[in-house]
Amino acid sequence: MIKILTFGKTRLRIFVALLFMFAAFSSQAQKFGYVDSEYILKKIPAYNAAQEQLEKLSKQYQQDIDAKYKIVQDLFAKYQAEKVLLTEEMRQKRENDIITKEKEVKELQKTHFSPEGTLGKKREELLKPLQEKVYNAIKDLANEGGYAIIFDIANNPNVVYNNPRYDLSDKIVEKIGLK
């Protein structure tokens, strides 16, 4: 029985020591905050202008692609109407022409709208400097304010609740020189 009590006292001492260490550690609590990067970016006039420019460019590319698809559709409709009058060789040639034109339109679509395409490159050219400006402001605020972690809740479906008290978005807006 004495051995059990001695072992129990040792465990109790270790537990109490750990408890004091934990209390000392938790007295230096880490600071956390969050930002909404979409909210911040929308406050930047250059971001809104860039978005408008990208939207205009996207519509222009889409209109060009739609016009080319219309040509392919017209060629196909004309082919269907004349198909019975054509020789096998002429049918094959027309089918190949239609397929080639359709591939060209799909390639053009890929050239403009793929992530590596013209629109993606333009988006990166226009938006990356603004995103870096916001990121640097967040990093500076984190260092100055002693924040361990700053989360971005923009477009994050996993955030169930966020207390406005910890929202640093307006501080970032001020830090980059906006109201």
- Structural domain tally of the chain? 1
The whole-number pLDDT of residue 1 equals 40
Domain extent at residue 163: 2-175
Give 53-71 pLDDT, tens digit per residue: 999 999 999 999 999 999 9
The whole-number pLDDT of residue 12 equals 45
Bridge partners, 32 (sequence order): 149
With a cut of 50, list the residues of the chain below it in pLDDT. Answer: 1-7, 12, 15-16, 18-20, 22-25, 27
In the chain, which ranges are E strands?
31-35, 147-152
Residue 11, burial from CB neighbour count under 10 angstroms (0-12, 13-18, 19+)? exposed
Residue 104, token pair as written in the block: 């060209």
The whole-number pLDDT of residue 123 equals 95
